[in-house]
Amino acid sequence: MGQNALPALDQESKLPQVETTIFTVMSAMAAEYGALNLAQGFPDFSCPKALLERVHQAMLAGMNQYAPMAGLPLLRQRIAEKVQHLYGAQVDEANEVTVTCGATEALFVAIQTVVRPGDEVIVFDPAYDAYEPAVQLAGGRCVHIPLQAPEYRIDWQQVKDHLSAKTRLIIINSPHNPTGSVLTADDLNELLAVVGLQPCYLLSDEVYEHIVFDGQAHCSLLSVPALRARSFVVSSFGKTYHTTGWKVGYCVAPAMLSAEFRKIHQYCTFSISTPFQQAIAEFMADATHHLELASFYQQKRDVFRAALNDSAWELLPCAGTYFQLARYRGFSERSEVEMARYLTQHHGIASIPLSVFYEQGCDEGVLRFCFAKHNDTLLEGAKRLKAVPFQ
């Protein structure tokens, strides 16, 4: 190596353990083999035409320059009205709501806002894969606590046992990706007890807040003032309006936390696409769009489950999100990663193995299937799964 040559970056990677995310890997494999993509979570149907028209109109009306750094005032106002209506939270849209580039940016920025070198962050496994790299980049360390299968509930005693003076942040995700479990009011009381023992911040990933089934209510951290006072609550319009490609999300946090959050957001993305924000703000005026989402997806969950009912696949409970877990240990000893590859290559159906979301290898033969799809796609997917031979 010459005197002025750069050192090989792969040898001093800031994220040595990180590989390409499973969502990219499985979507690429689905495309390569022409498989049904029930892996990465996105709808295979269009968003409402009226929403598309609003984007078009906003563009034609000249809304094509930078939006304000924190988000369009009208959109922040509509978000504040929504959380007041659904969770009874009085939110100051000027100082407590920030529009972000999807929930992904909000999660990343919230973590950078509070986590410092040496801090510990509690996450629950299987954990959505965006959390840990952001914690590592901030110099922190994730403390992983497994959820209790098959209902994937939080064991609050374990949380108490893992608290330390270094615990800086707890990351909650309800409805939970990838398991479909949801937090209850009792869970929020337990969380309150935990933060009473060790003062720490909370990051609540609520991107599936409108997709909770069987008449249950979504328990937002915004609904409990003592939790809200220490929380970053994150959501995404990608899930709610079938527009994952638009990457518009937001973070609600108390003014002091939002001020610090914005210091990072302004140098991360600065602001989010103006015509999309305008269109979403206008669309939000009609609450039925998000209020009817749960029944829309519950019907899809039920179509998919019914089609697999008399099969060798064991369906796990699904209380929210648009993901269904299915277990195959009864008929195959393959690892989850092997099974996901095999199904994509040989049976034309792509899924997500759960094992990649655990720190400590856990391989119980469970795959995640996205049911944000046309009913025909779901029926065809179930047919292909039923055709998998026992081995």
Binding region for ligand GLN (CB under 6 A): 21, 23, 40-41, 177
Strand, helix or coil for residue 353: strand
Kind and range of the H or E element at 142? strand 141-146
Nearer of residues 105 and 120 to ligand GLN, judged by Cβ: 105
Q: How far is the CB of 45 from ligand PMP (least distance, A)?
A: 16
Which CB sits closer to ligand GLN, 177 or 204? Answer: 177
Write each residue from 189 to 228 as x if it is in contact with ligand PMP (CB under 6 A), else as -, in one continuous string. ----------------x-x---------------------
Q: Nearest-5° angle of CA 55, CA 205, CA 143?
A: 145
**H helix or E strand, kind and range, residue 1:** none
Residue 180 is which amino acid? G
- Contact between 314 and 149 under an 8 Å Cβ cutoff? The reply is no
Q: Which is nearer to ligand PMP, 207 or 316 (CB)?
A: 207
23 interacts with, out of ligand PMP, ligand GLN, none, CB within 5 to 8 A per kind: ligand GLN
Contact window for ligand PMP (CB under 6 A) among 149-157, 242-250, 296-304, 340-348? 242-250
CB 168 within 8 A of CB 120: yes
Scanning residues 174 to 193, which ones bind ligand PMP (CB under 6 A)? Answer: 177
Closer CB to ligand GLN, 200 or 246, in the complex:
246
Residues 128/134/136/142 CA torsion (nearest 10 deg): -40
Residues in contact with 61: Cβ distance below 8 Å, sequence separation at least 6, in sequence order = none
Shortest Cβ 268–ligand PMP spacing (Å): 13
344 binds, among ligand GLN, ligand PMP, none (CB under 5 to 8 A by kind): none
Tell me whether residue 21 or residue 158 sits nearer to ligand GLN (CB atom): 21
Phi and psi angles of residue 214, each rounded to the nearest 5 degrees, phi first: 60, 35
Please report how close the Cβ of residue 180 comes to ligand PMP at its closest, in angstroms. 11
Q: Which of 202, 127, 151 is nearest to 320 (CA)?
A: 151
The residue among 63 and 127 lying less far from ligand PMP, judged by its C-beta, is: 127
Q: Is 238 in the site for ligand PMP (CB under 6 A)?
A: yes
Q: How many CA atoms lie within 13 A of 351 on its CB side?
A: 32
Give me the residue whose beta carbon is nearest to ligand GLN.
Answer: 41
d(CA 301, CA 383): 15
For residues 242 and 292, the answer to whether their CB atoms sit within 8 Å is no
Contact between 356 and ligand PMP (CB under 6 A)?
no
41 near ligand PMP, rule: CB under 6 A: yes
Residue 209: burial class (beta carbons within 10 Å; 0-12, 13-18, 19+): buried
- Residue 181, contacted partner among ligand PMP, ligand GLN, none, CB below 5-8 A by kind: none
Which residues make up the interface to ligand PMP (CB under 6 A)? 41, 102-104, 128, 173, 177, 205, 207, 236, 238, 244, 247, 249
